[in-house]
Structure 1
Amino acid sequence: MARTKSFDPDDAVAKAMEVFWSKGYARTTPQNLVDAIGIGRGSLYNAFTGKHDLFERALRRYQAQETARLINLLDGPGSPRQRVHAALTLVLEAACADTDRRGCLATNAAVELGGDDEAATLLVRRIFDRQHDAFRGAIEEGQRAREFAADLDPRAAADFLLATINGMRVLAKVDPHPARLAALAETAMRAL
């Protein structure tokens, strides 16, 4: 008779995401994952092919959970300028509230693994591309509504905003001063 899984794989991925987010990929050990999830090492490897598989799943969960909040703001109601400002404010508030200074899991993965780990790089690129597309869509809509300058290059502006939010997240890991981060957000808005 086959044994049933004694844990919920979705819950396991959620717990693993928190560990990877706090420690990074390299510093997370299989024992850290086993301890956080509350299962045996054999169960971990039976459910997931290994640490890297679990990390990829954690990045996908992060995209579905955390990145979706930013996308929903940019695609949601309100004027395009208000939505872009709300997205910058979301990142600002999250960075300031992050007392553990974990930053953004996708940004952390880009810094730690970008270029060295093909699968992680691809996942992070997808996250960044989705954020870029949402910023670009809001900017293009704002141009049609005359909220943003007509000669503004929407792709370059979206890249600028993507770099701004990721820069805010990285800066907050070492200097989470709210006024400094708010000034970055306001400078970005003035640049549009």
Structure 2
Amino acid sequence: MPRPRAFDEESVLDNAMNIFWRKGFETTSVQDLVEETGLNRASMYSSFGDKKALFLRVLEHYSAKISTKRFEKLRETADGREAIVATFKDTTLQCCNDGRFKGCLMVNSGMELAPHDPDIAAISHRAFRRVEDMFANALRRGVDAGTISGDKNIRALARFLAASFQGVQLMARRGSDPETLQDYTETILAALD
């Protein structure tokens, strides 16, 4: 009978997520993961597989834990325009709040790995499509509420908003100051008028 795990899997995934988020996949070593998670190499490999397998689990964990919360208002606020504005403004503030300028793990990973890793490219594509669909649904709610003009091309505007949202994340990652991010966000939101 296998021995029960002597660690909290969610805590390990949180710690691995944080190091991958800070350093990226390529520059995070297995030793970094051992130090950050508190697992020894044997436990890490037997529980999660190799570094890439752990990273794929981390991306799932990130999506469930961080992305779900990040897009909560976009999904749940009744007025779509209000949902979009709140999502962008909240994210712009959060991007600089902790002073670490981490951006978005999913966006960072897509930029770093998608061009040469089909698994990450597929995950990045699915994540972008989910965000695009959430923006499209919010836009429809805004049109229904009369806060967004009905003559907008919903799918095209949703793609623009999803790509622009990634732009906010990338600008934060490179250390843009809050004023620049706010200016960028206001310009994006003008597309709703």
TM-score, normalised on structure 1?
Answer: 0.94
| C-alpha distance in 1 between matches for 2:76 and 2:84 | 10
Residue in 2 that maps onto 1:54: 54
1:52–1:75 distance in 2 versus 1, CA, 3 Å: same
| C-alpha distance in 1 between matches for 2:48 and 2:175 | 36
| C-alpha distance in 2 between matches for 1:174 and 1:122 | 24
Query: Is the deviation greater in 71-80 or in 1-10?
Result: 1-10
Letter in 1 for 2:19: V
Residue in 2 that maps onto 1:153: 153
| C-alpha distance in 2 between matches for 1:40 and 1:175 | 34
Query: Is the deviation greater in 98-107 or in 53-62?
Result: 98-107
Do 2:75 and 2:138's aligned partners in 1 also have CA atoms closer than 8 Å? yes
Letter in 2 for 1:14: D
Q: CA deviation at 1:78?
A: 4.0
- The secondary structure found in structure 1 opposite 2:155 is helix
**Share of identical aligned residues, percent?**
32
For structure 2, list consecutive stretches of 5 or more residues without a partner in the other structure.
Answer: none
Q: CA deviation at 1:189?
A: 1.5
- The secondary structure found in structure 2 opposite 1:14 is helix
Provide, for residues 158-178 of structure 1, a one-character-per-residue CA deviation record: whole Å limited to 9, x for no partner.
111111111111112224311
Output the aligned Cα RMSD. 1.5
For structure 1, list consecutive stretches of 5 or more residues without a partner in the other structure.
Answer: none
Provide, for residues 59-107 of structure 1, a one-character-per-residue CA deviation record: whole Å limited to 9, x for no partner.
1111111111233111213421111100001210111214122111001
Residue in 1 that maps onto 2:77: 77
Residue in 2 that maps onto 1:144: 144
| C-alpha distance in 1 between matches for 2:32 and 2:166 | 27
Letter in 2 for 1:3: R
| C-alpha distance in 1 between matches for 2:130 and 2:5 | 34
Runs of 4+ in structure 1 deviating by more than 6 angstroms, as ranges, are none
Provide, for residues 32-58 of structure 1, a one-character-per-residue CA deviation record: whole Å limited to 9, x for no partner.
111111121011111011101110111
1:27-46 equivalences in 2 (<5 Å) = 27-46=27-46
TM-score, normalised on structure 2?
Answer: 0.93
User: Do structure 1's residue 131 and structure 2's residue 131 form an aligned pair?
Assistant: yes
Residue in 2 that maps onto 1:21: 21
Residue in 1 that maps onto 2:182: 182
